[in-house]
Amino acid sequence: MRIFLSSTAYDLADARDLCAEALRARGHEPVHHENALFPQYRFVHSHDRCLLAVKDCDALACVVDRRYGGTYAGALRAGRAPVTVPVRKGKILVLQPAEVSVTWMEVLEGRDLGLPVMTFARQKTLDENELRKRNAHLKSIRMVHVADKQYRLFDFLDWTTHQPRDNWIEKFSTITELRDRMIAWVDSLATGSSTPSRASRRGGKSHVVSLVVFVEGRTDAALVRGLANALDLPLRLDVVPIGGKARMLGNIEPLVERYATRYDALLFLADADTQDTAVAAAEMARFRQRVPVQSGVYACLAVPDADAWINATVGEQIGSSRGADVEKLLADNPLTPEQVKLATSRSTSLDYFVRTLVQIGTERAAERSQKDIQRMLIVQAKRAFASARGKTTGELIVTLSLDSELEIHAGIGLEEEGVGHVIMDDGEWKFILSEDDLDRATRKRK
C-alpha cells in the first residue's frame, strides 16, 4: 500500500524517517516530501505537489506534535469551501483556505478522495488542548509544549474529532510508540477485508471523473472554477495556472506526460487574443497541433480571451484585474446555471468550452468505471500478498473472485495488458496473479 505521511516539515523529520523505514520493511510504500521519489510537478506550487501526491496514495497518516505549520498558498484548492470548526458554546470558527495549514489541507484532500485517514498526536499536545479548554475563560494562556503562536493546531484536533468518520486520534509519547501504532493501523488496513478500495470508498461516487484544467493565469482559474460550480458537473476538478500562453504552449508535452497518469482527463485553455473569427480558427488549428492526439486530452480557446467570458457571465468589465479580484467577485456573486446559459448564447467559444466540460464528465465516466474496478483488484491483490508474505517460502500466487460482469471485464482488460489470468473454476470466474503480475500492474499505473 502507498501511505502518505502528512506532518509539519521542521519538527517531525526523525519520526517520518522511522515510520517510513518500518513501512518499507513490511512491503508498503511510504510517501513523504523528503523521499527522493516524491513526485515532481513543473509549474505547480510546492503545496499543490503535496496534494497531488496524496491523490495517488491508498491511505493517509497525519502526525501532530508541536507546530500547526505554514498555511496553504497553492492554487488547486484556493477556491474550496471554508473549513468550519465547532468551538465552545455552539460557536463556529470559519477558516478560509489561506488560513488552513498545509498539513490540514493534505488531510482534507485525503478525506475528499475517500482515503482511510488516521491522526496520530503527541500526548503532551493533547494534554495542552485539554488545558486550553478548561481555561477557556482566561483571556490568554501560554503553553509549554505547543509552540507559541501555533495554537490553531488545537482547532485542527477539535475539527478531527467532529468528523463523521476517521475521527479517532491515536496518542503517542515517543516516536517508537508512534511507529508501532502506525504499523498496527496500516496492517489492519492491509489485511482487513472490510477496508474498502479507493474506488468503492467514494460512497457511490466511484465514477466521478478527475479533470485538470491548465490555464494561463489566476483570472482564468477563477472563471473555470466558477463555471464548474454553476454547472454542478460530475467532475473532480483541479485548475493549474501555468503563467502565460507562451509558457503553456512550450510545455504541453511534458505536462501531458506528467499528469496523464494522475487524471482521467486533461484540458488546456488558452486565450485566442483576437476577435477575428478567421484568425481565431487558425490559432485553434495551431493550438491543436501542439496538443497530443490521445484519449482524455482536450484543448479550447477563449475568444477573444477569458476576460470577455467573465464579462459575459457576470456582466462586469474586468479588464486587467488580477486573479484575486476575480476570485472575490465570483465569491460574492456565484455564477448561476441561468447566467452560464445566457453567456454561452453570446459566446460560441464559451459554449464549446462548457460542452467540452459536460462531455468529459459524462463520456469518460464509463471508461473510469472499468479503471476503478481494475484498481480495486490490484489493491485487493496487494493486501492478499501482504497478508501471505512470510507465511510461505515458495512463489506467492493470489486468486481473487470476480463476482460481477464488470469485474470479469476488468480482469480481462488487465489480462490483455499482460497482468494476471482470468479463468473459470468450478463455475466461478477467478483472477490469478503472481508477484511479477503485481509489479507489472504497479509500473503501468505509475
223 inside domain:
yes
pLDDT in the model for residue 238: 87
Q: Are residues 383 and 434 in the same domain?
A: yes
Strands 169-172 and 117-122: parallel
125 inside domain:
yes
Our separate counts of H helices and E strands in the chain read: 16, 14
Mean pLDDT, consecutive 10-residue stretches, the chain (446 aa), reads 91 91 90 78 84 90 95 88 80 90 95 92 93 79 82 92 90 95 87 41 50 90 88 83 91 89 89 92 90 88 91 65 66 85 92 90 65 78 76 76 77 86 84 86 67
Q: Which domain holds residue 376?
A: 367-444
Domain end point (choices 130, 164, 191)? 191
**3-class DSSP state for residue 64?**
strand
200 inside domain:
no
pLDDT in the model for residue 194: 36
CATH of the domain at 156: 3.40.50.10140
pLDDT in the model for residue 435: 84
Residue 308 grid coordinates: 470577455
Q: Are residues 344 and 380 in the same domain?
A: no
- Beta-carbon count within 10 A of 4 CB: 25
Domain count, the chain: 3
Question: What whole-number distance in Å separates Cα of residue 427 and Cα of residue 222?
Answer: 55
Domain end point (choices 163, 191, 219)? 191
Q: Are residues 29 and 145 in the same domain?
A: yes
Domain end point (choices 305, 340, 366)? 366
pLDDT in the model for residue 193: 35
pLDDT in the model for residue 196: 38
Q: What is the DSSP letter of 201?
A: G
Q: Are residues 396 and 249 in the same domain?
A: no
203 inside domain:
no
185 inside domain:
yes
Q: Are residues 236 and 320 in the same domain?
A: yes
Q: Are residues 139 and 246 in the same domain?
A: no
Q: Note if the pTM is more than 0.75.
A: no
Most distant CA pair in the chain: distance in Å? 73
201 inside domain:
no
pLDDT in the model for residue 416: 85
Q: Are residues 309 and 434 in the same domain?
A: no
162 inside domain:
yes
CB 298 within 8 A of CB 265: yes
pLDDT in the model for residue 78: 84
pLDDT in the model for residue 368: 58
Q: Are residues 169 and 248 in the same domain?
A: no
pLDDT in the model for residue 199: 38
Amino acid symbol at 1:
M
Q: Are residues 431 and 387 in the same domain?
A: yes
Beta-bridge partners for 83: 95
pLDDT in the model for residue 270: 95
Q: Supply φ then ψ for residue 418, to 5 degrees.
A: 85, 20
Residue 446 grid coordinates: 505509475
Q: Are residues 173 and 137 in the same domain?
A: yes
204 inside domain:
no
Q: Are residues 44 and 164 in the same domain?
A: yes
Give kind and range of the element (H or E) at residue 355: helix 348-388
- Beta-carbon count within 10 A of 123 CB: 13
Q: Are residues 186 and 69 in the same domain?
A: yes
- Beta-carbon count within 10 A of 263 CB: 20
Q: Let me know how long the chain is.
A: 446
pLDDT in the model for residue 89: 66
CATH of the domain at 216: 3.40.50
CATH of the domain at 381: 3.30.110
pLDDT in the model for residue 202: 36
